[in-house]
Chain A
Amino acid sequence: MRKIISIIVLVIIAAGFVFTFSQIPFGKDKINVAGYYIERGIKQTGAVNIVTSVVLNYRGFDTLGEVTVLFIAALGLGAVLFIERKLKEEIKDKEDKKRKASLILRTGSRILFPLILLFGAYIFIHGHLTPGGGFQGGAIIASGFLLMYLAFPRKSINKRTSNIIESVSGLVFVGIGLLGLVFSGYFLTNFLPKGVPNTLFSSGIIPIIYIAIGLKVGFELTGIIDDLLGRSR
């Protein structure tokens, strides 16, 4: 009974899709709002990556909202999976009997881990010159930490250091926005000098904010995996 009603609902929705998508021509030129951003992007912000200048300069407030949503999700996950201190002692005794990972994984992950961190840092530092940015670099840093978690079943990161780095990075983002308010009267204006396009030290506050976002997202996703595995003491 449930299957028949669901299939009828899906057929109605599919008919709606066919009717809607036939009105949108695929591949035709429909640029409307973005013409302003493309023409004046490099002169007003100094970043050659137009997606970065849209994310951080023209729509910077939405990025602040997104960082907040990610923070609330990590907070909620830590609150739902909260283990009390007595239960943690029992789980720690059960975990000390775990086997070690294989030799290839242990050796390879020791070599790969600093290279993965370096690659992630490269991606979020050059966010205004090449494709990339804070969120991609943060995800790569979290993947590096996940590799270390898989290779060494009894170790974990220092939770206090990770919390401090994450909180300070979030405060740096909001602090730069408030500095923009002090200097020009609008929240999150680009008040540093724009520089020469296509060089590393250009486009004002955009590299600084992307470094803060990259560190924050990286340590946040690592904290999510650490809370799910239940490992830090």
Chain B
Amino acid sequence: MSVIYNSMYYIASGGLILIGLYIVLVKTNLIKIVIGLNFIDTGINILLICIGYIRGKTAPIFSDPGIKSTSVVDPVPQALVLTAIVIGVAVLALALSIVIKVYEHNKTLNVTKIKGLKW
């Protein structure tokens, strides 16, 4: 039982990354592929935060004068994930605008029918 409790966050993030990768590799609708990319993003963010987690310690904000400096979790992965979430939404917006233009040009969203490249 404690094996499950020690590894459940790794299963969550690894599972999201694998499901996102499956959607990108197998599905043929462009908007579903973009949804899969969003899942991969979310899975990697969960992985980064759960690496910085320490059992029994609290959030890194010293709003109470009684919190000592040795009882907080790691703040550096949280700063990096903050950047990664915003960049994820920027990439998502740009990808969806390209999907809209591709649909206007080809009238279909199926990747097997869009044959713009020659080979």
Cβ-defined contact, A81 with B75, below 8 A = no
Interface size on A, residues (CB 8 A): 54
Cβ-defined contact, B97 with A31, below 8 A = no
Interface residues of A in 14-72 (CB under 8 A from B): 14, 17, 21, 24-31, 33-34, 37-39, 42, 48-51, 54-55, 59, 62-63, 66, 69-70
Interface stretch (choices A1-9, A110-118, A149-157, A181-189): A1-9
Interface string of B51-83 (1 = CB under 8 A from A): 101110001111100000110101110110011
Given the interface pairs A26-B9, A26-B10, A54-B76, the reply to whether A70 lies near B98 with Cβ below 8 Å is: no
In the bound complex, what is the Cα–Cα distance between A10 and B62 (angstroms)?
Answer: 43
Query: Which of A6, A50, A81 contacts B61 (CB under 8 A)?
Result: A50
Q: Determine whether B91 belongs to the interface, using a CB cutoff of 8 Å to chain A.
A: yes
Cβ-defined contact, A131 with B7, below 8 A = no
Q: Which residue of B lies closest to A48 (CB)?
A: B62
Cβ-defined contact, B101 with A131, below 8 A = no
Query: Which of B17, B50, B61, B90 contacts A69 (CB under 8 A)?
Result: B90
Interface size on B, residues (CB 8 A): 44
Residues of B near A34 (CB, < 8 A) are 74-76
Tell me whether chain B's interface is mostly helix, strand or loop, or mixed. Answer: helix
Q: Determine whether B1 belongs to the interface, using a CB cutoff of 8 Å to chain A.
A: no
Residues of A near B55 (CB, < 8 A) are 27-28
Q: Which residues of A contact B (CB under 8 A)?
A: 2-3, 6-7, 9-10, 13-14, 17, 21, 24-31, 33-34, 37-39, 42, 48-51, 54-55, 59, 62-63, 66, 69-70, 73-74, 76-77, 80-81, 129-131, 133, 135, 197-198, 217, 221, 224, 227-228
Tell me whether chain A's interface is mostly helix, strand or loop, or mixed. Answer: helix
Q: Determine whether B87 belongs to the interface, using a CB cutoff of 8 Å to chain A.
A: yes
Cβ-defined contact, A24 with B62, below 8 A = no
Cβ-defined contact, B83 with A51, below 8 A = no
- The smallest beta-carbon distance between B16 and chain A, in angstroms, is 11
Cβ-defined contact, A129 with B54, below 8 A = no
Query: Which of B26, B61, B79, B97 contacts A131 (CB under 8 A)?
Result: B61
